[in-house]
């Protein structure tokens, strides 16, 4: 919602003629709409803009204070039960946000969408999420506006050369090997195709170990514990 592109996405889906069930649509609840009733209103408005009856995944975009998040999440659960969304989850949640959510949640979030790429691999957060049955979904999987920095990482370049693939494909393939959902964004048809083909790459143990070592920190997007939107 906060990206202001639901109207365009809705029109594009309609114009494409692709059957609804072949498309996976996610939207997110922005901070100003958090709260029990306002969350319910927010998804219904998003659906109007998207010209859809349901989304496939609805996420709380950003953690607010624990009580407000709990109220918003209760609304998400009801929206899920009522068929307005096929899955629910959260985004930018750290351990403590999830632990507090578990105190009131009746449905464990299906997804936690967080910044995740070769430099910020979120190993411990993923372990925690998987233990609770939550899938980690990587946003900025090829380092977003810093993609040129990712393309210049030498060990990735060497692995890409070995497999006759691009550096972006190797970085995406690594996340897939770790059972992390990826949502790379591109407006370039050739790159969209290239990114889809990352699914068929098989990295060996040596490749995986070399990429594991790139986990050096350097978050690109704000840390939810240190910013107040
Ligand atoms: N939950 C959150 O708080 C949050 C925050 C940030 C992002 N997100 C979501 O995460 C998704 C992806 O994140 P993102 O767009 O920030 O980052 P990203 O997917 O890591 O990177 C996108 C950038 O990489 C370029 N690119 C794509 N494929 C490439 C390829 N094969 N080779 C070279 N360059 C390539 C794109 O250029 P072109 O488009 O010009 O091809 C674009 O500049 C978005 O859909 C966004 O909605 C969520």
Q: Which residues are catalytic?
A: 3
Average pLDDT on 49-63 reads 98
> What confidence tier does 228 reach under pLDDT thresholds 50, 70, 90?
confident
Average pLDDT on 218-223 reads 94
Q: Give the residue whose CA is nearest to atom 34 of ligand 1.
A: 147
Q: Judging by beta carbons within 10 Å of its beta carbon (0-12, 13-18, 19+), is residue 112 exposed, middle or buried?
A: buried
The pLDDT of residue 121 is 98
The pLDDT of residue 229 is 75
CA atoms within a 13 Å half-sphere pointing along the CA-CB vector of 54: 17
Distance 67 CA to ligand 1 centre (A): 32
- The 3-state DSSP class for residue 223 equals coil
Torsional class of 204: left (φ above 0), alpha (ψ -120 to 50), beta (otherwise): beta
The pLDDT of residue 116 is 98
Does residue 50 surpass a pLDDT of 90? yes
Q: What percent of the chain has pLDDT over 90?
A: 98
Average pLDDT on 4-29 reads 97
Of the chain, the end-to-end C-alpha distance in Å amounts to 15
The pLDDT of residue 86 is 98
The pLDDT of residue 40 is 98
> What confidence tier does 227 reach under pLDDT thresholds 50, 70, 90?
confident
Q: Residue 49's CB: how many other CB atoms inside 10 A?
A: 17
Nearest CA-CA partner of 194 in 171, 177, 175: 171
> What confidence tier does 128 reach under pLDDT thresholds 50, 70, 90?
very high
Mutation pick for ligand 1 pocket among 142, 189, 218, 227 (CB with most ligand atoms within 8 Å)? 142
Cα distances from 31 to residues 54, 59, 91, in angstroms, run 21, 11, 12
Distance in angstroms (rounded) separating the CA atoms of residues 179 and 126: 9
Q: Does domain 1-109 sit in CATH 3.40.50.300?
A: no
Q: Give the residue whose CA is nearest to atom 8 of ligand 1.
A: 139
Average pLDDT on 183-190 reads 98
Helix ranges restricted to H, the chain = 6-16, 36-50, 66-81, 95-104, 123-131, 147-151, 154-163, 167-177, 189-196, 205-212
Residue spans of the domains in the chain: they are: 1-109, 142-229
Question: pLDDT averaged over the chain?
Answer: 97
**pLDDT tens readout for residues 100-121:** 999 999 999 999 999 999 999 9
Nearest CA-CA partner of 84 in 135, 25, 137: 25
Q: Residue 21's CB: how many other CB atoms inside 10 A?
A: 7
Residue by residue, DSSP assigns 103-143 as HH-SS--SEEEEE-BTTB--HHHHHHHHHTT-EEEEESTT-
Does residue 207 surpass a pLDDT of 80? yes
């Amino acid at each position: 919602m906060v990206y202001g592109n639901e109207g365009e996405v809705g029109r594009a889906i309609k114009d494409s003629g692709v059957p609804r069930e072949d498309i996976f649509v996610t939207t997110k609840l922005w901070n100003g709409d958090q709260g029990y009733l306002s969350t319910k209103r927010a998804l219904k408005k998003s659906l109007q803009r998207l010209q859809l009856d349901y989304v496939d995944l609805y996420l709380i975009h950003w953690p607010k204070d624990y009580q407000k998040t709990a109220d918003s999440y209760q609304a998400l659960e009801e929206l899920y039960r009522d068929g307005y969304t096929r899955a629910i989850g959260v985004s930018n949640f750290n351990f403590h946000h999830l632990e507090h959510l578990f105190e009131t949640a009746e449905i464990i979030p299906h997804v936690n969408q967080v910044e995740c790429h070769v430099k910020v691999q979120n190993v411990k957060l993923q372990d925690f999420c998987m233990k609770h049955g939550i899938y980690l979904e990587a946003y900025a999987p090829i380092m977003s506006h810093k993609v040129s920095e990712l393309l210049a990482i030498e060990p990735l370049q060497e692995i890409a050369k070995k497999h006759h693939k691009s550096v972006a494909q190797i970085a995406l393939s690594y996340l897939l090997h770790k059972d992390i959902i990826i949502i790379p964004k591109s407006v370039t048809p050739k790159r969209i195709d290239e990114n889809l083909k990352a699914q068929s790459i098989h990295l060996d143990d040596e490749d995986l170990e070399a990429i594991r070592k790139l986990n050096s920190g350097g978050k690109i997007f704000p840390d939810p514990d240190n910013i107040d939107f």
